[in-house]
Structure 1
């Protein structure tokens, strides 16, 4: 007698986030994403001009702005796991 075991998928915080970029094929969603991203980078640029920061800090700020915009406007990609 053979039994199939379900895989136990765990979500870790270090896992790579993939966003549903197929939503950007729609022009309305793409324009909304561009505007939101421009606004984030405008605010970020003003902040970085005031402070003296390192390259690493700048990269963290850019990465944070990009991922937070993607999280707000694009949903995470759903994984369809085989059972």
Structure 2
């Protein structure tokens, strides 16, 4: 114990909490850390791809599955293409 009656761990904990709260006040808290090259349109394409993947998983018959897979592959290609073009354009600047 130190002279004031507090332990070193409690002091470190207090300092860490003070720094963390100050950083959150100044910078704000980011829940998700997205890459800058991924735009909102690309995120929409990714979500569309996920929805199509869910449709494949919930298809009732084997006849429906190939139809859903075609839509999924198109959505997958679209999402990849949009991210790739944004990445290329970002590096050209």
TM-score in same-fold range (> 0.5): no
- RCO higher in structure (CA 8 A, sep ≥6): 1
The structure where helix makes up a greater share of residues is 2
Tell which structure's C-alpha radius of gyration is larger: 2
TM-score by length of 1: 0.34
TM-score by length of 2: 0.32
